[in-house]
Amino acid sequence: MSDKNKDNKRRWWGSLFTEGESDAAEGRNLREVVKSMNIDGRWFLNQIPLFLLILLGILLMVTNRYQAQQEMIQKEQLLKDVEDWRYRALTRSSELTTATRQSQIEERLKQMGDSTLVPSKEPPFTINPNE
């Protein structure tokens, strides 16, 4: 390494850790840091594809996160809807079971005054244990 580069690095490190007395000294220290790092306009022009790639990656991450959040919200809403419909179906099923019991039907017929249907006194079939 040449003496000039060593001298630049010493000034760079020294400028980072020294407190400047005025704004002009701070600006001068920053210029020295940039000069010692050999960063100029050409370096930035050469790095534009990298900056664009980084920007594209950040943009893709943000949009992907937003889309994932929207899908999670939609999934939660659909699960709530399925649970709601399941409870409604269970309620309707129990109401239908209650309404179609034989005792309920007989009671309704009595209230309506229909006397043509009478419950049977004999069982529909007999079971003989000896057979």
Per-residue three-class SS string for 15-44:
HHHCCCCCHHHHHHHHHHHHHHCCCCHHHH
Q: Work out the angle at residue 17's Cα, subtended by the Cα atoms of residues 15 and 19, and round it to the nearest 5 degrees.
A: 80
Residue 18 in this model has a pLDDT that exceeds 70: no
pLDDT confidence band for 12 (50 / 70 / 90): low
Tens of pLDDT, residue by residue over 42-70, are 777 888 899 999 999 999 999 999 999 99
Q: What is the token pair recorded at 77?
A: 């809403």
Closest by Cα among 7, 33, 29, 32 to 18: 29
Residue 106 per-residue DSSP state? H
pTM for the full model?
Answer: 0.45
Q: Would you give the distance in Å from CA 75 to the centre of its chain?
A: 9
Phi/psi at 117 (5° precision): -95, 125
Residue 110 has φ and ψ, to the nearest 5°, of -65, -40
Separation of alpha carbons 19 and 16, rounded Å: 8
The percentage of the chain sitting over the pLDDT mark of 90, rounded to a whole number, equals 35
